[in-house]
Structure 1
Amino acid sequence: MNIIVTANYEVLSETAANRIAEVIKNKPNAVLGLATGSTPIGLYKKLVTYNKENLIDFSRVTTFNLDEYIGIPASHTQSYRYFMDYHLFNHINIDYQKTHVPNGMAKDIQAECEAYDEMLRGHGGIDIQVLGIGNNGHIGFNEPGSALTVGTHVTELAQGTIEANSRFFSTREEVPTQAITMGIGDIMKAREVILLASGITKADIISRLLEDKIDTYIPASLLQAHPHVTVIVDQLAGQLI
């Protein structure tokens, strides 16, 4: 596991964007695994700039997002499809049909999970997966527990996750309590992983992540078993390393 501590969030975002740009230049039809949340916003802003400056071309790229809330439509301003369109897809030359986000409004959610995994397999897997990390160590919406699920599945969101997400909704009652998420197995199959963390609130979990042990109650710790992981943090998130 490679650790990069950057001077600030701007450098963190640029470092991650440069790596993704390199992957796309080396493989123009790359499959990207993407994440939502506040941390990757700077990364996506950089990628938009690179695309507008003709430094990278997304025309043959395919993307798969980690997760989506169950029960809110793609048009909802807090859906992850909306997030990706707003921050990235609407501003780059990507084929929109090649951008994949789970459908949280599917009539048959289990069938949606199975179809998502089938699409992942059909595209040959993910070349580089972007991850954030929750304060409790979740990646995607793989929450801490005694056991973790391999493939795409429905997950009950932890209370801490619901509380953290409530700031994005008008009332706490509006916050979804379930989501579709790629499983740990899906993430571990990616050929490369970059995990991003910014800010003092992530310092403790980043320190725990880098301890020499794997613990299902810190789902991100399973990344220690992955052969090609880079953790990119700013100074605040990395201060306990």
Structure 2
Amino acid sequence: MKTHIARNYHEMSSQAAELIIHQIKQKPDSLVCFAAGNTPLGTFSCLVEAVRQGRLSLDQCKFISLDEWVGLGASDEGSCRETMDRHLFEPCGIKEQNIHFFNGTSNDLEAECKAMDDFIGAHGTIDLLLLGVGMNGHLGFNEPYADFEGYSYVTDLDSTTKQVSVKYFPDHKDVQKGITLGIKHLMQAGTVILIADGDKKADIMRKALKHEVTSEIPVTVLQRHPNVYVYMDEAAAALVR
């Protein structure tokens, strides 16, 4: 893991964005997967600005989803797809044909998983993966005790994830399940960027970097990935130094 500690959230977001810009310039037709939580929003803002300045083109990239809340779709405020549309895809003019996302409202979620696995397989593997980390160490909706050998699947959400979910939605959503890329997809990605900010993430980032690898804390599996960049602000890195 290549660890970078920034002074604040803005600097962390900018550093992560600059690495993404560099990677996409190296391979303009990259298969890209970005997490859709709150932490990446600053990075998205930097990418949007880079596109507007002509420093970056995303026209050849293909974008896939990391995860989605089961029962929610693109029209639901706070869903992963709606968040990506609002903060990245629409401001950057990403064409729908270049986006392949889980549909959390589908009547056949297993078919959604197969379609995602087939899409990734048709493009090789994910070139560039941007992840946040949950308070419980989850990556996407790979919750504690997730199978490290799995591809896309539907999972029951951990109690911590359900508690935290309320911050994403303007009104109450009874989310119980998620659909997500599996750990194996994440570990096969060419480049992984992990970002974390705030003192609330200090303990989990200590575990991410220092704890033995265990499915109880899924983020620890990234210690085994050969090409991971970690960007934290000083608060998130407080227990790492």
For normalisation by structure 2, the TM-score amounts to: 0.96
Structure 2 counterpart of 1:92:
92
Structure 2 counterpart of 1:213:
212
Structure 2 counterpart of 1:74:
74
Aligned-pair RMSD on alpha carbons? Answer: 1.3
1:148 is displaced (CA, Å) by 4.3
Pick which of 197-206 and 101-110 moved more.
Answer: 101-110
Q: C-alpha deviations, 1:126-172, integer Å up to 9, x for none?
A: 11100000011000100002744510000111111100111333555
Identity in percent: 37
Q: C-alpha deviations, 1:97-154, integer Å up to 9, x for none?
A: 1112201111211111011111011112111100000011000100002744510000
Q: Distance in 1 between matches of 2:181 and 2:189?
A: 12
Structure 2 counterpart of 1:237:
236
Question: In 1, are the aligned partners of 2:73 and 2:82 still within 8 Å (CA)?
Answer: no
Structure 1 counterpart of 2:182:
183
Question: In 2, are the aligned partners of 1:152 and 1:182 still within 8 Å (CA)?
Answer: yes
Structure 1 counterpart of 2:141:
141
1:220 is displaced (CA, Å) by 0.6
1:212 is displaced (CA, Å) by 5.0
For normalisation by structure 1, the TM-score amounts to: 0.96
Q: Distance in 2 between matches of 1:113 and 1:146?
A: 16
* AA matched with 1:29: D
Secondary structure at the counterpart of residue 12 of structure 1: helix
Structure 1 counterpart of 2:9:
9
Unaligned runs of 5+ in 2: none
Unaligned runs of 5+ in 1: none
* AA matched with 1:51: V
* AA matched with 1:218: I
Question: In 2, are the aligned partners of 1:60 and 1:94 still within 8 Å (CA)?
Answer: no
Q: Distance in 1 between matches of 2:192 and 2:137?
A: 16
Q: C-alpha deviations, 1:71-118, integer Å up to 9, x for none?
A: 123201121111000000001132221112201111211111011111
The answer to whether residue 63 in structure 2 is matched with residue 63 in structure 1 is: yes
Structure 2 counterpart of 1:124:
124
Pick which of 86-95 and 50-59 moved more.
Answer: 86-95
Question: In 2, are the aligned partners of 1:166 and 1:175 still within 8 Å (CA)?
Answer: no
Secondary structure at the counterpart of residue 88 of structure 1: helix
1:5 is displaced (CA, Å) by 0.6
